[in-house]
Amino acid sequence: MLKFMSISISAIIFVLILILGFISPVQSATLRSTWVENEIYQYNHPFAAQLPQELATKMQKMKASPFAFYRGTSHIFYRDMQTLPSSGFVNSSTSAIWLEGDMHLQNLGGMRDSNDNNVFDTTDFDESYLGPYVWDLRRMAVSILLAAKENGLSSSDAQDIVRNFLDAYLNKMSDFKGTNDELSYHLESSNTNGVVKDLIQKASHESRSKLLTKYTQLNNSNNRIFQTTSKFQPVSNNTYSDIAGAMSSYIASIPSSKRYNSSYYALKDIRLKLGSGTGSLGKYRYYLLIEGPSSATDDDRILEMKQEGSSAVAIALPGLLPTSVYGNQEGARVTIATKAMLSNTDPLLGYTTVSSIAFMLHEKSPYQVDFDYTLLTTKSKFMDATGYAGKIVAKNHAISDKDYDAAIIPISVDKEVTDIVSSKKAVFKDEIVNFAVNYATQLEYDYTSFVNAYKQGRQLY
């Protein structure tokens, strides 16, 4: 099978451990300050020469809270997944499925898909890779505990919320088993309520004119160009030329069935975008203004062009996703994974290479609004929102199996997961909750280590 080509010996051994699954994935938290400092430095240092100011912003953002630190250190999570005991609910079939890779509450949001459905879904696939399905569940479960604690909920309530998330995931997987329902499944305003419904409706009320007004202006020749601000910087002539030269490769990466006329992609302006996100800070992120469907200035499109490196998940399972699947081009990996886990994907989704750096490109959509977990101020609000999150993670996993590409994932994930867990749901939920409680404690230790190092002026990148 293609998915097992070029797998390293360590990955094979790890998969065998996953298959056995006899060890409880619970481990006591420990203080490991020197190790944490070193992991942060080693991960971020390769980007210090290109955008040191962005890494300074990253460290400042990570200092804000344990949840913010968690967002910025997925590499630490997967370094731990490399060594922590496995799950008792993973077999050979479910040990190598498509993962979102950085599953947490703020990688969900409201958006409009290419069929004009206003939906709640996953918004980021930078860390996508193959691995055991429980890793997405573990990472989301930890984020729920951290966010709930930050919002003032009790530990008991937070654990109930995680169980609710897991119930929603398992129930939706069971619904999908034996059907093709996952292929058309959406969370819309008609089948949601609370904060999630509000988010979908907010996204639906956004507009292209509002987005263009936010980022662009008309010059003296009545041509639309980007504004320049402290977080929106012009690029050098050489960089502009290099990106312009890479546009043909980007266009060629888009399937011909989704490709527009060449005039649609005519490049009008470029800016370096600073300060966006947390984990990706330090990597290049450009906004590209292109012509769009007509020469009018009110239908221009903005592309977001993000530098992509190897997935953090690959730290734990190097070689599990063969480079032949994505041509050893990390932007292509993210593009493939996005198509696998989302339906009705952005027709501007693609990838290119600039000065040997891989990039993924997609539209900076006017109709995308990030999820705000600080709105989940009560247990009831949290339960509603995480129930929908569970359904979305189930959908991600179910549509990205053989339904998308049987050469990569040759099995039905919804069937396999349902069959493994169905008779032991309580034990499964206990396992994930116990892991999340212990890992959240470890994360708080690591956060304290990081904050102390930051305050002491230690070199973290």
pLDDT for residue 120 = 98
pLDDT for residue 7 = 43
Tokens of 249: 């490769």
Q: Domain residues of the chain, as ranges?
A: 2-199+375-455, 204-363
The helix-helix angle for 74-81 and 134-150 (nearest 10°) equals 130
pTM to 2 decimals?
0.93
Q: What is the pLDDT along the chain (461 residues), one digit of tens a residue?
A: 333 333 444 444 444 434 333 334 556 889 999 999 999 999 999 999 999 999 999 999 999 999 999 999 999 999 999 999 999 999 999 999 999 999 999 999 999 999 999 999 999 999 999 999 999 999 999 999 999 999 999 999 999 999 999 999 999 999 999 999 999 999 999 999 999 999 999 999 999 999 999 999 999 999 999 999 999 999 999 999 999 999 999 999 999 999 999 999 999 999 999 999 999 999 999 999 999 999 999 999 999 999 999 999 999 999 999 999 999 999 999 999 999 999 999 999 999 999 999 999 999 999 999 999 999 999 999 999 999 999 999 999 999 999 999 999 999 999 999 999 999 999 999 999 999 999 999 999 999 999 999 999 999 99
- Distance between CA 241 and CA 52 in Å, rounded? 23
In the DSSP assignment, the letter for residue 229 is: B
- Distance between CA 140 and CA 167 in Å, rounded? 13
Backbone angles phi, psi at 454, to 5 degrees: -60, -45
pLDDT for residue 29 = 87
- Distance between CA 258 and CA 253 in Å, rounded? 10
pLDDT for residue 27 = 67
- Distance between CA 251 and CA 261 in Å, rounded? 10
pLDDT for residue 28 = 80
E-strand spans in 7-148? 97-99, 108-112, 118-122, 129-131
Tokens of 224: 């639309």
- Distance between CA 24 and CA 66 in Å, rounded? 25
pLDDT for residue 226 = 98
E-strand spans in 323-402? 350-354, 357-363, 369-370
H or E, element range at 425: helix 425-455
